[in-house]
Amino acid sequence: MTEPVKEGEQPAAGGERIAKRLARAGLCSRRDAERWIEAGRVKVDGKVLETPACVVTDRSFIEVDGKPLPQADRPRMWRYHKPPSEMVTARDPEGRRTIFDSLPNGMPRVITVGRLDYMSEGLLLLTNDGGLARKLELPANGWTRRYRARVHGNVDEARLAALADGITIEGVRYGSIKAGLDRQQRSNAWLDISLTEGKNREVRRVLAFLDLPVVRLIRVAFGPFHLGELERGHVDEIPPQALDNLLGVKRPPRKQGWAKPQPKPNARPHTGRRPAR
């Protein structure tokens, strides 16, 4: 059964937009789902769907290219250690390598929780659930993003400390940033950075304003999730029980599917820290 929904209108309780249902089933993105509908590839209750402006329920019988829509998987999440020189996008117009070129074959369709820019590295969260991704990205969650930044220049610790009060750069207001000097090595330094807002290229822009251009930027934590010893370019799934405990996500019985690769023993991320003595 389907119900029309007007532009900007929210679906009634118990229903969801057809594009969201297709995306949750892991077939495509919402944008691609809308294209499939326009191409006449989607049927609902035996009728070819002509517009994505409709709502389906659990009683709706949905077909794509004549095949029944597979059941949506439970919400799942993965950690990925993004190396530099990878785009966090499905397609890059300039043909640069993307994170999706590096993910293991057989892994379900996933989207990213937030982004890292092309040259940044470190922890990137992936999920098969778009609603969960949007929820985790909200600044209202208060989740802290933690970074290690290698910068060029001599650090003024007083100016770093002042970032806790926020800063406005070229009309853009950046919220509280906790920044501290780990060590100065001649004309370079390592900084520890923590923030909750996560605006586009925020760390790089703020430090550049302080005459501290970033040479290397590594995200080491996003909320309760940590990069830990995950090797660069590797991915592993967050255990379902841990996801339940952290996020309160309900999970149906696990299906057979992709098994996470095991990280190599004693592997450590390159964070720039000196070894403990």
User: In this structure, are 87 and 194 located in the same domain?
Assistant: no
Catalytic residue among 92, 117, 182, 236: 117
User: In this structure, are 88 and 210 located in the same domain?
Assistant: no
Per the model's pLDDT, the better-predicted residue between 57 and 263 turns out to be 57
Domain encompassing residue 217: 144-222
User: In this structure, are 148 and 130 located in the same domain?
Assistant: no
Q: Please report whether residue 260 resides in a domain.
A: no
Q: Please report whether residue 64 resides in a domain.
A: yes
CATH assignment of the domain containing 58: 3.10.290.10
User: In this structure, are 206 and 148 located in the same domain?
Assistant: yes
Question: 0.75 cut: is pTM over it?
Answer: no
How far from each other are the two terminal CA atoms of the chain, in whole angstroms? 66
Cβ(97)–Cβ(86) below 8 Å: yes
What confidence score (pLDDT) does residue 250 get?
A: 54
40 alpha-carbon distance from chain centroid: 31
Listed residue (110, 133, 138) closest to 29, CA to CA: 110
Q: Which residues, including other chains, have CB under 8 Å from residue 29's CB and lie 6 or more apart?
A: 23, 90, 111
Residue 6 pLDDT > 50? no
Q: pLDDT tens-digit profile of 45-72?
A: 999 999 988 899 889 999 999 999 877 7
Q: Please report whether residue 57 resides in a domain.
A: yes
User: In this structure, are 168 and 122 located in the same domain?
Assistant: no
Total of domains in the chain: 3
Q: Please report whether residue 274 resides in a domain.
A: no
DSSP state of 98: B
Listed residue (90, 28, 111, 108) closest to 64, CA to CA: 28
Has 101 been annotated as catalytic?
A: no
What confidence score (pLDDT) does residue 256 get?
A: 46
User: In this structure, are 120 and 164 located in the same domain?
Assistant: no
CATH assignment of the domain containing 213: 3.30.70.1560
The mean pLDDT of 114-136, rounded to a whole number, is 90
Backbone angles phi, psi at 34, to 5 degrees: -65, -35
Q: pLDDT tens-digit profile of 154-202?
A: 999 999 999 999 999 999 999 999 999 999 999 999 999 999 987 889 9
Listed residue (53, 44, 57) closest to 15, CA to CA: 57
Q: Please report whether residue 180 resides in a domain.
A: yes
Per the model's pLDDT, the better-predicted residue between 146 and 275 turns out to be 146
What confidence score (pLDDT) does residue 3 get?
A: 52
Q: pLDDT tens-digit profile of 208-236?
A: 999 999 999 999 999 999 999 999 999 99
Q: Please report whether residue 262 resides in a domain.
A: no
Q: Mean pLDDT across the chain, nearest whole number?
A: 85
